[in-house]
Structure 1
């Protein structure tokens, strides 16, 4: 089978953090310890990358990892040479996401989605659905049960969606929808999914792992 280059018209950006002990998944450190929380970040990112690789088997899409902490060499040593790595840069989450979207559209992408690595329910099918819905909608959002979102997809850069939002709060998703309505954007939601951020969220990860093992049998 020929390995054709991915189409830059569809682009996926993965936001993650290099798993340095003490500086990642800090809300899980009291339960897992510095190293345990970093290893958990490592596992969740690798789980997300696996799902993205499954997506790449089905459709042409370019993939980029925007990272915080570490550097490009550490990221390559960890996740391999097949991915494009770019530092998230400075600023709050909104500024960093808006910058990554602007760069992707400047490079010729026509449909861009951003995901994090905190939501083990994100799979290749959900990612493909998001891209499909961008045929008909300006904005695609994957609502997280905690009030944020695990995915955002756009057909053009819309910086207004990333300002005046208190990131990390339970109002992020609703505030984003409110801004979209003010801008008269057409938008659609995906399935609500759960993030894993706190000790009480760990059963969500365990369920995802159990399902992954079951599918591989």
Structure 2
């Protein structure tokens, strides 16, 4: 496994609980269909990644869904805002030293296996790696040592997330690498862009 870990943040595909911003335009049922497709895509992309893989769900159901196979470990996200949830996951996975650890969500179908491989390579020379999203956030974050301050005081789901995170890294006098900018699927237009691409 080359001392690599991959954390995937996901939500259970429950009607009315996923892609709520998208649902305002296309309705809960269609939004759920989009999300289940995003889950399947994330599974397909990450299956080939040479790493220990962990899916952190918002909740674990009594009957597990079939989106991620037996090579994935399943855990539950902690309480708190997105930053607290991510910090908790990194804290847990980086108790084993020297693991290059990445976190992604399920909202970016444009991520490829090649991008994830590049992210791991960047961690050989940088303290952090970030995948910028077009909305000002990031679709990927990676580190080999746990630095909780990159998760505190960040206004999540705003266009300032990436820039503030980079500022935090600079305050720590640490290095970072940026991957190519990609688009998250949050709106109807984002989903159409993805569909046109494939």
Instruction: Give me the TM-score of the superposition, normalised by structure 1.
Output: 0.86
Residue 124 (structure 1) aligns with: 113
Count of residues paired in the alignment: 198
1:76 Cα deviation from its structure 2 partner:
4.4
1:17 Cα deviation from its structure 2 partner:
0.6
| Structure 1 SS opposite 2:27 | helix
Q: Distance in 1 between matches of 2:193 and 2:154?
A: 27
1:195 aligns with 2:189: no
Which of these residues, 52, 60, 64, is aligned with residue 54 of structure 2?
64
Residue 30 (structure 2) aligns with: 36
Q: Distance in 2 between matches of 1:205 and 1:74?
A: 31
1:51 aligns with 2:40: no
Q: Unaligned 5+ residue runs, structure 1?
A: 1-5, 211-217
Q: Distance in 2 between matches of 1:80 and 1:52?
A: 11
Structure with bigger helix share is 1
| CA deviation profile, 1:119-178 (whole Å, cap 9, x unmatched) | 111010000000011000000000001000000000100000000000000000000000
Residues 39 and 67, structure 2, Cα contact 8 Å, conserved in 1: no
Which of these residues, 67, 76, 84, is aligned with residue 73 of structure 2?
84
Residues 97 and 145, structure 2, Cα contact 8 Å, conserved in 1: no
Deviates more, 1:128-137 or 1:35-44: 35-44
CA RMSD, Structure 1 to Structure 2 (Å): 1.5
Q: Distance in 1 between matches of 2:122 and 2:140?
A: 13
Residues 194 and 204, structure 1, Cα contact 8 Å, conserved in 2: no
Q: Unaligned 5+ residue runs, structure 2?
A: none
Deviates more, 1:87-96 or 1:77-86: 77-86
Q: Distance in 2 between matches of 1:203 and 1:86?
A: 32
Residue 175 (structure 1) aligns with: 164
Instruction: Give me the TM-score of the superposition, normalised by structure 2.
Output: 0.94
